[in-house]
Chain A
Amino acid sequence: MIRDRKIECMPRDELKKLQSERLCALVARMYDKVELFRMRMDELGLKPGDIKGVEDLDKLPFSYKKDLRDYYPYGLFAEPLENVSRIHASSGTTGKRIVVGYTQNDIDMWGECIARMLNGIGLGKDDIVQVSFGYGLFTGGFGLHSGCEKIGATVIPISSGNTALQIQTMIDFKATALCCTPSYAMYLGEEIERLGVKDQLKLKVGIFGAEPWTEDMRKKIEESLNIRAYDIYGLSEVMGPGVACECEYGQGMHIWEDNFIVEIIDPDTGKVLPEGSKGELVFTALTKEAFPLIRYRTRDICSLNTKPCPCGRTHIRMNKPSGRSDDMLIIRGVNVFPSQIEEAILQVSGSEITPNYQIIVDRVNNTDTLDINVEMSEKLFSDDIDVKAVDRLEKALVDKMRSTLGIGAKIHLVNPKTIARSEGKAKRVIDNRKF
Chain B
Amino acid sequence: MIIHQLSVFLENKKGRLFEAIETLAKNGINISALSLAEACEYGVVRMIVDDTELSKSVLKDSGVVVSVSKAVAVAMNDSPGGARDILKVLAQADVNIEYMYAFVGKTTGKALMVLRTDDIEKTEKILKENGLGEVNPADIYRI
**Which A positions have Cβ atoms within 8 angstroms of B?**
376, 381-385, 387-388, 390-391, 394, 412-418
A385/B11 in contact, CB under 8 A:
no
Known A384-B7, A384-B116; contact A415-B37, beta-carbon cutoff 8 A: no
Cα–Cα, bound, A391→B37 (Å): 13
B40 touches A (CB below 8 Å) = yes
Closest 9 CB pairs of A and B: A384-B69, A385-B7, A387-B39, A381-B67, A385-B44, A415-B65, A385-B9, A387-B44, A391-B39
Cα–Cα, bound, A105→B64 (Å): 63
Interface string of B17-54 (1 = CB under 8 A from A): 00000000000000000000111111110000000000
B63 touches A (CB below 8 Å) = yes
Cα–Cα, bound, A9→B37 (Å): 70
A390/B67 in contact, CB under 8 A:
no
Chain A residues positioned under 8 Å from B64 (CB to CB): 415
Nearest B-chain residue to A410, judged by Cβ: B41
Selected contact of A394 from candidates B41, B43, B69, CB within 8 Å: B41
Cα–Cα, bound, A278→B41 (Å): 44
Cα–Cα, bound, A387→B35 (Å): 14
Cα–Cα, bound, A376→B10 (Å): 12
- Contact count A vs B, C-beta below 8 Å: 48
Nearest B-chain residue to A384, judged by Cβ: B69
Q: How far is the CB of B19 from chain A (nearest CB, A)?
A: 12
Selected contact of A385 from candidates B41, B63, B67, CB within 8 Å: B67
A415/B39 in contact, CB under 8 A:
no
Of listed A381, A384, A394, A413, residue having the most chain B CB within 10 A: A384
Cα–Cα, bound, A402→B31 (Å): 43
Selected contact of A412 from candidates B38, B41, B66, CB within 8 Å: B41
Nearest B-chain residue to A383, judged by Cβ: B69
Q: How far is the CB of A415 from chain B (nearest CB, A)?
A: 5
Chain A residues positioned under 8 Å from B67 (CB to CB): 381-385
19 more contacts with CB within 8 A, not counting A385-B69, A415-B9, are A376-B65, A382-B67, A383-B67, A383-B69, A385-B8, A385-B65, A387-B39, A387-B42, A390-B9, A390-B42, A391-B39, A394-B41, A412-B11, A413-B41, A413-B42, A415-B11, A415-B64, A416-B65, A417-B63
